[in-house]
């Protein structure tokens, strides 16, 4: 009987222990696998930051340097504009008048320069260029008259020098001819002296006759010497006349070159003024700097006055790359860096129907930024991160989804993978590290 009871007890214990052992094995395998997974399996991490969609170039605020009176408003609120399109036209009366006045001065200088160059090359005849038609006709006529008068004066001055030179040469020729005649007279007197000397030796002639002939001979020689000195003086005067003629030409050329130099210098200065005036004139038509949408138009009526430097309207760029201006908490900045991959979730659309957009961190601010909101969670300081959205991701968005400036977004900045064990042990390790450092 006892053996039978013992056998029954053994069988009962075997039936109980087997499920217990199996259950224990399952528990050990589950917790062992869970522990192994927490230690070995990496989990993706991310820093979450809120932000807003914005064009890469930001909104353009149009201003006008000089200001002016509005003549015509060519766009309305929300109009699509293209780069270079006229948007607002200002009155051009003053700007146009100043530009034309400077251009007239420049044209007058150009005509004067042309006239001086003609004088420099000693051209006999000169006529103004085609630029002297219309309003500049009087300038051309005046310069033409001045050219003729100056050339006539110069030619007369040269003619006087040439006439004087001719007269001097004729005087020299006359003196030379007179010298030849005097020489011939001396020859005749010498012959007569010889004859008188023979007669004087024979007593047939008186001495006063001989002395009179010798006196006449000396007088003729004195006249020859005087004529020679006069000829030398006249030749010196001819050289002086030539020099004066050269000086007159040189002085004229120097005067012309000096005037040309002044004109070149004045035109260089005037060119800067013309460029500035033309720039002011062109700015009377306010054009769109980029393609986009016109918004916040401050000018409402024709005839209104725009103050210098005043903001006129905004343009939200339409064809630029889109970015997210994300605000990173200071405690997360150690996990954010330039070139880091990111995922952008559009807060205005459902996470289920809209896939996240891929992006990359373009820049991270070097210092904390002060929040603009006076109250609420947005008043905390933050680091600004610019996330550039991948154009391919934008192209894959559904047609009904359109990104607009200011749209809220949530940015997941990808961080290195960590295990569950790291997440559990990390805070404990940090607490122990701080506890050890406490005094």
pLDDT in tens, 78-117: 888 898 999 999 999 999 999 999 998 998 899 899 999 9
How confident is the model at residue 434, as a pLDDT? 58
Predicted pLDDT of residue 435: 61
pLDDT at 11: 47
At how many degrees (to 10) do helices 2-40 and 420-437 cross? 70
List, for the chain, all residue ranges whose pLDDT scores fall below the cut of 50.
Answer: 1, 4, 11-12, 374-377, 438
Q: 70 pairs with which residues across the strands?
A: 90
Name the residue ranges covered by the structural domains of the chain.
Answer: 39-57+320-436, 60-84+289-316, 96-282
Q: Where are the alpha helices (DSSP H) in 203-316?
A: 207-282
Provide the pLDDT for residue 421. 55
Strand arrangement of the beta sheet that strand 60-63 belongs to: 60-63, 311-317, 292-295, 80-81
Pick the CATH number of 39-57+320-436 from 3.90.660.10, 3.30.420.40, 3.40.640.10, 2.40.30.170: 2.40.30.170
* Threshold 0.85, pTM exceeds: no
Sign of CA dihedral 105, 107, 108, 109: positive
Which is nearest to 135 in space by CA: 156, 162, 106?
Answer: 106
Task: Give per-residue pLDDT as tens, 371-384.
Answer: 665 444 456 888 88
Counts for the chain of helices (H) and strands (E), in that order: 6, 14
- According to the model, what pLDDT value does residue 279 have? 92
């Amino acid at each position: 009987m006892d053996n039978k009871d013992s056998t029954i007890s053994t069988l009962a214990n075997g039936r109980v222990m087997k499920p217990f052992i199996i259950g224990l094995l399952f528990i050990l395998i589950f917790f062992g696998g869970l522990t192994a997974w927490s230690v070995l399996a990496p989990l993706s991490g991310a820093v979450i930051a809120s932000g807003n969609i914005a064009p890469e170039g930001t909104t353009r605020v149009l201003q006008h340097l000089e200001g002016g009176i509005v003549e015509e408003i060519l766009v309305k609120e929300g109009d699509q504009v293209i780069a270079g399109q006229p948007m607002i036209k200002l009155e051009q009366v003053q700007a146009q008048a100043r530009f034309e006045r400077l251009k007239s001065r420049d044209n007058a200088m150009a005509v004067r320069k042309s006239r001086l160059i003609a004088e420099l090359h000693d051209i006999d005849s000169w006529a103004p260029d085609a630029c002297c038609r219309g309003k500049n006709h009087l300038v051309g006529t005046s310069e033409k008259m001045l050219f003729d008068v100056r050339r006539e004066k110069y030619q007369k001055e040269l003619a006087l020098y040439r006439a004087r030179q001719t007269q001097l040469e004729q005087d020299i020729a006359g003196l030379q001819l007179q010298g030849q005649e005097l020489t011939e007279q001396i020859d005749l007197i010498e012959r007569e002296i010889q004859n008188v000397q023979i007669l004087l030796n024979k007593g047939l002639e008186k001495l006063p006759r001989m002395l009179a002939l010798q006196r006449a001979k000396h007088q003729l020689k004195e006249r020859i010497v005087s004529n020679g000195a006069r000829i030398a003086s006249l030749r010196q005067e001819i050289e002086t006349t030539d020099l004066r003629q050269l000086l007159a030409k040189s002085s004229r050329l120097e005067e012309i070159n000096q005037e040309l130099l002044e004109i070149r210098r004045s035109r260089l200065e005037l060119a800067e003024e013309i460029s500035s005036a033309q720039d002011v004139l062109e700015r009377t038509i306010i054009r769109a700097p980029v393609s986009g949408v016109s918004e916040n138009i401050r000018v409402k009526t024709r005839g209104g006055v725009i103050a210098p430097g005043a903001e006129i309207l905004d343009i939200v760029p339409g064809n630029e790359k889109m970015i997210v201006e994300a605000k990173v908490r200071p405690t997360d900045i150690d996990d954010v860096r330039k070139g880091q991959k990111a995922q952008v979730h559009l807060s205005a659309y459902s996470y289920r129907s809209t896939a996240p957009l891929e992006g990359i961190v373009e820049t991270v601010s070097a210092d904390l930024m002060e929040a603009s909101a006076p109250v609420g969670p947005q008043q905390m300081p933050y680091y600004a991160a610019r996330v550039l959205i991948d154009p391919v991701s934008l192209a894959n968005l559904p047609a009904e989804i359109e990104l607009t400036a200011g749209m809220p977004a949530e940015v997941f900045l990808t961080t290195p993978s960590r295990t569950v064990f790291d997440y559990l042990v990390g805070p404990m390790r940090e607490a122990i590290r701080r506890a050890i450092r406490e005094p």
